[in-house]
Structure 1
């Protein structure tokens, strides 16, 4: 409901950014204790700390929306607020990740400045030039029941060129593809039609391949001692307290009730696919060792799985005394 989202703009901006800043600080602080043993040899502390921060901050927007739909609360005030906050946080988190990747790949301060400058120019070209001309290139395809081969060719060309451009600039190809998706026309429901056309290929073939790839890369056997599992549980705890607690506290400060604030925090604590993508980037850049990569994958899975139970717990009319006591304190 766009009208409700507009009314919640202030809440979305404040809570969306609060749900990133607070867990990000937690992640950077945690990096102080983990860097010496778990960073990839040769990785700088700054890059490692920034990646730990982003790993604590991400919310899986598609997963959150699916949870809201499955529970029948997508169009409720809580659902609208969660969607708006996650959308704001998603854009901010990916922007931060692009900045972190630029720093990780740079060889000097000057190269960082050049990369960021090129990124700003590229984003401006995409949003103010290509976005305006793309409907003309697609022409009548915008009004058809489904995109034809010509329209798909144009879309794929835009996605591939955009991805290649960001890769050459010095940030990941993912960001170019993400930006290409943002500029797709909405006239005539073209974006939704495009999703329907390509969703089968992506969900049936590409997504399972990605999950299989992450699964093969994740080596639980590396966590072969009590100390490793203690660190893993600590990461899960820090991630949950930072994201759920940070979101709930920020939501309460903007006027939401404690119960709704904790529900919103539980929803924003889901990480899922977006987290796995970010972790994969960190590993490929030589920042995360395989052990910390595995721990963070476990954290992503656990925090996503716990979303449903926590949402049900905080959704009770009368929260358990332990939660109520924590809130009162």
Structure 2
């Protein structure tokens, strides 16, 4: 054995022996310390100094005291940071697992992530393992979870705003706006009508009808733009007319719905007509400042900072500060911080390199770590047991029917009126019926404002999940329906050409031009 190894062993032995001697000898000072402390009590009574208790950890000769070790370990688990780390581990594992499972089943991964959050809540985990649920998600830990989830939503909404290409709104503006606004007005009106019938038994105590009605309307009207974009990409529809129109309509829907939501939140928070008008004016002023003042400045910044080398930590910090400042402004106005983050993303420079760099810095962490916390927090608020105990399942199916009828029906009719065939019209309607994450954001805002009760919140969450799950199978059903129909038509034929085959179609056109009745008879 080398000398250095022997020295190392000797050093460890000397350290342990010396430390043990100091600790054992120091224990003899404890009686003297108690006497000294008691002699100081009378003099300290007349001072304003605070006495903080000192926790003593006695050295036990029995190092295998399982009961004591269990208590110490349990105490460590109940520490806020320890519990938060455990929550992060379980939530992230569940989100990844169920997200992958949903992908394997042909569904967007967000479906699995939402489902994971619901399963971790009182609807399943709290039902089958209440002790573990209380240990993992006690009430005092939910505030931290909510703040982190809101931070994740801020970054997510910034990315959504940044990825919203306003140019596509100009290319198909007329059809897209008509389809988009029809897909908002139809379900909004139906949701408002439904609110009239369920307000008395299901609205929270003290909530006025206008606030409840408006939130039921906007809750029915949302389209999940990011989920829809992912579905269109996975289906290979990005460069098709159908995919482009659906994406444009969803983008217009996204902008319009968030503006309506901002107005609804303003009305709910205002408390009076004059304060409501003031909040709306302030909101419009801020949007105008962002559009006319900040957007040109951001375009100039985009010309300077595009490459990864130019995106220094200082520049990155500036963009983060811009996100948080914009979110703070809209929160201070009263229209929610998420709207400010979304608006900050919309006015970002239209430079692909810059946007890709920012998305790379933000999206991975926010989508992987923080956003699953939002799903889990939503799941903790969702209580499907209330539907069974209160006999509310018929009400849920009514909500689901109204939501699908308004969104799918309104979008399909508007698309058909704009000149699309029934296949494309129904496909657009099914795509616009996708709600997903955006719906959950609206519902949580309504819940935080006290406008939505636990029962309504749970039913609307389930409706959002169901309508998003419908999208993939619905598109396949429409494809099957119209493909089957095309096999039964006689409007197709086979052209067999010899020699110069390229002239076959030209000769056929000439023949049909000379004998048009032959073409009609063959058809």
TM range (shorter): over 0.9
> What is the TM-score with the length of structure 2 in the denominator?
0.59
Q: Which residue of 1 aligns with 2:150?
A: none
**Structure 1 residue 136: Cα displacement:** 4.7
Written as runs of structure 1 = structure 2, the 5 A alignment for 1:17-166 is 17-136=181-300, 140-144=304-308, 147-166=311-330
Give the drift of 1:146.
Answer: 7.1
Partner of 1:324: none
Do structure 1's residue 203 and structure 2's residue 405 form an aligned pair? no
Q: How does 1:173-252 map to 2 (within 5 A)?
A: 173-187=337-351, 189-225=353-389, 227-252=391-416
What is the match of residue 135 of structure 2? Answer: none
Q: Identify the match of residue 283 of structure 1 among 434, 447, 457.
A: 447
- Alpha-carbon spacing, 1:30–1:178, altered in 2? closer, same or farther (3 Å): same
CA separation in 1, counterparts of 2:465 and 2:405?
16
CA distance in 2, matches of 1:296, 1:3: 33
**In 2: Cα distance, 1:30 partner to 1:148 partner:** 52
Answering whether residue 480 of structure 2 is matched by residue 316 of structure 1, we say yes
**Correspondence for 1:327:** none
CA distance in 2, matches of 1:2, 1:76: 18
CA contact (8 A) 2:295 2:349 kept: yes
Whose Rg is larger? 2
Q: How many residues matched?
A: 321
Separation in structure 2 between the aligned mates of residue 2 and residue 125 of structure 1, nearest angstrom: 18
Question: CA distance change for structure 1 residues 317 and 292 in 2, over 3 Å: closer, same or farther?
Answer: closer
> CA separation in 2, counterparts of 1:124 and 1:277?
25
State the alpha-carbon separation in 1 of the partners of residues 398 and 336 from structure 2.
29
Aligned CA distance change for structure 1 residues 14 and 204 (closer, same or farther; 3 Å): same
Q: TM-score, normalised by structure 1?
A: 0.93
Distance in 2, matches of 1:188 and 1:288, equals: 40
Aligned to 2:366, the other structure's residue is in SS state helix
- Secondary structure, aligned partner of 2:392: helix
Q: CA deviation at 1:141?
A: 2.3
Unaligned runs of 5+ in 1: 322-329
Two-structure CA RMSD over aligned residues (Å): 2.0
Unaligned runs of 5+ residues in structure 2 are: 1-164, 486-523
Which secondary structure does the structure 1 equivalent of 2:305 belong to?
helix
User: Which of 286, 291, 294 pairs up with 2:458?
Assistant: 294
- String of CA shifts for 1:253-286, please: whole Å, max 9, x gaps: 1111111101100000000000000000000001
Task: Show CA shifts across 1:149-193 (max 9, x none).
Answer: 112111111111111111111111111111011111123531222
| Separation (CA, whole Å) in 1 of partners of 2:240 and 2:279 | 42
Higher relative contact order (CA 8 A, sep 6+): 1
